[in-house]
Amino acid sequence: MRLVPRLSQRLRSRVLGTAAAALVLPVAAGVAGTTAAVAAPAQSAPIAHSAPAGGFEEVFVDSDMGPIKVQIQWAARGGDAALYLLDGLRARDDANAWTFETNALTQFANDNVSLIMPVGGESSFYTDWYSPSNLNGQDVTYKWETFLTQQLPEYLATRGVSPNNNGILGLSMGGSAALTLAAYHRDQFKFASSLSGYLNLSAPGMREAIRVAMLDAGRYNVDSMWGPPWSPAWLRNDPFVFAPKLEGLSLYISAASGLPGQHDNPKGLTGFYNTGNAMGLEALSLVQTRAFQVKLATLGIDASFDFPARGTHAWKYWEDQLWKARPQILDALNAH
């Protein structure tokens, strides 16, 4: 896959340091097949008795950020369970990368769980920001936690999705965000998964690395998100800190070694640079995920961990991990 749009821009980013470069996440490439957009019904509409039985739909749901596009694959038999799939740092505005970088839709096509794939949120960490980013002219304040835990569930309830029988899974930026949202909204989520996430944001150098990564991915100012590094919001959103809140959740957490594997086939200078970047990204995630595994063990919290011997920070490896997590997801949500 292509991790960067312009080689020269990425090469210049090397001077910012290895730790910072390790957080620059891959750009999704490709075009998703879409259907006509459907306006969301009023939030006051009555709760539906069941979800549509199968099919793919795109809707726009009202939020504090304006209408948000959401791609949905409905549960095969109209069940009320849902799995939220979160994107990475470079989330696009036209489609959630799970729909075109992976075979996620095919994996769950015959299962009784709806896939909920919000679109947008580049560099957002799917959190509520303090203010718009003042470095890139952002005209709205990100309020993703509010959207994903209040406004979107309210809309989905009108389509037959339970507000309480949900799972959430994300990769990289979306991995740490998935655990955060599940930890603080236990009434909504029964399952949470981080794939190649960064799970110790208070580790030395991490806050500075996130700052540089977000500047690279859209020129976003991290101070507009959680404030300066000493702000309590950083601790509030650090999985290593809030880990006790995860007790009782069904958890699936993975990170690979960073060594190139079956899905890596670099070609040319750009390809080799991209693969090298993906290796560094995954190696950092592995270190943090291993530390998080020890943290949960000391707390006596059960979780399923998977550490493939080979694999880089790339979509096809996350596709593989989604397939591995699928039985646990279906069990947790009673969605077979």
Beta bridge partners of 27: 90
**H helix or E strand, kind and range, residue 288:** helix 268-299
Q: 124, 172, 176, 250: which is the annotated catalytic residue?
A: 172
pLDDT for 30 beyond 70: no
> Angle CA(310)–CA(314)–CA(318) in degrees, nearest 5?
80
144 and 128 Cβ atoms separated by less than 8 Å: yes
Q: 58, 145, 282, 319: which is the annotated catalytic residue?
A: 282
Tokens matching residue 292: 């998080």
Tokens matching residue 186: 């236990």
CA 168 to chain CA mean position, Å: 8
pLDDT for 3 beyond 50: no
68 and 120 Cβ atoms separated by less than 8 Å: yes
Beta bridge partners of 253: 194, 305
Q: 145, 285, 313, 319: which is the annotated catalytic residue?
A: 313
What DSSP assignment string belongs to 80-121? Answer: SEEEEEE--TB--SS--GGGTTS-HHHHTTTSSEEEEEE---
Answer with the residue of higher pLDDT: 51 or 41: 51
pLDDT value of residue 289: 98
pLDDT for 186 beyond 60: yes
CB neighbours of residue 47 within 10 Å: 14
pLDDT value of residue 267: 78
Q: What is the pLDDT of residues 82-106, one digit of tens each?
A: 999 999 999 999 999 999 999 999 9
CA count, 13 A, side-chain hemisphere, 204:
0
Q: Which residues of 305-332 are buried (b: 16+ CB within 10 A; e: fewer)?
A: eeebeebbbbbbbbbbbbeebbebbbeb
pTM of the model: 0.86
Query: Which are the contacts of 190, defined by CB distance < 8 A and separation ≥ 6?
Result: 164, 165, 166, 167, 249, 250, 332, 333
The pair phi, psi for residue 94, each rounded to 5°, is: -105, -25
282 is catalytic: yes
Q: What is the pLDDT of residues 136-153, one digit of tens each?
A: 999 999 999 999 999 999
Between CA 171 and CA 194 the distance in angstroms is 6
Between CA 256 and CA 196 the distance in angstroms is 7
Question: Mean pLDDT lowest for which of 33-37, 138-142, 295-299, 307-311?
Answer: 33-37
pLDDT band at 315 (very low <50, low <70, confident <90, very high): very high
Tokens matching residue 201: 């944001």
